[in-house]
Amino acid sequence: MFDPEHIGDPRRESDFQARHFPLCDGGEPPPIGSTDRIARRKLQFLAAYYRLNCLYDRLSSIRAGRSQESEAQVLQALKLAVAQRDQLELFYEAEGFWGEPIMNGMVYANVEFTYARRHDVYRPASSYSFSVFVPLPPAGENSEQWIREHLAKAAFNAPSRAATLITSAPRAAPTERKEFPDASRGPVAKQDAEPDPQ
């Protein structure tokens, strides 16, 4: 099973080539040995694109006649590196963590990260409650009939009480409302359509 924690930081390697290590959000990467959850994930993506940069550079050298290395072996290594990058993306996709590579020619020069902060992921919903008081029947009254009548009155008044509680609570900021055309009125010209990729 794929485990991204097995992806090591290439900066620890003896043959590390700094020119192939992409920027992180346009700046410096997290430090070596970072324990922060987000920092580790960023380093995993940076390591994946570093491997690809190294392999593309080796392939270019072979095709330019500067290396006698086997092209078939480098292509196979590239295939595996791309598959690992794809697995990494799929692994974190459900959490909304994404690394978007920015290229400079054929080089992955920078990786821009998008992810949800923890305080944005979980926000407890507000709740409202109210209680209903039903008095005990006086002596001599039919207990069952008395309780039934007072419960009916309480049920009748409950919606108005709940409405008072809710309307008096702080209101959330209004959201943009979009109007959609009524299909029964006939065809409507499509607006703001995305460009047709060709």
Distances (CA, A) of 90 to 3, 22, 87, 119, 138: 12, 21, 5, 23, 69
pLDDT at 167 (0 to 100): 40
Predicted TM-score of the model (pTM): 0.60
> pLDDT tens across 24-66, in order?
999 999 999 999 999 999 999 999 999 999 999 999 999 999 9
Q: According to the model, what pLDDT value does residue 89 have?
A: 96
What whole-number distance in Å separates Cα of residue 88 and Cα of residue 5?
A: 10
* Model confidence at 23: pLDDT above 60: yes
Q: How far is CA 146 from CA 91, 130, 156, 167, 189, in A?
A: 62, 22, 16, 32, 64
Which pLDDT band, with edges at 50, 70 and 90, does 192 fall under?
very low
d(CA 127, CA 113): 35
> Domain residue spans in the chain?
4-121, 124-168
Grouping H, G, I as helix, E, B as strand and the rest as coil, residue 112 is strand
* Cα dihedral 188, 194, 195, 197 in deg (nearest 10): -120
The 10s digit of each residue's pLDDT in 97-142 is 999 999 999 999 999 999 976 544 444 444 444 455 556 666 666 6
Tokens representing residue 87 in the block: 């697995």
pLDDT at residue 25, rounded to an integer:
97
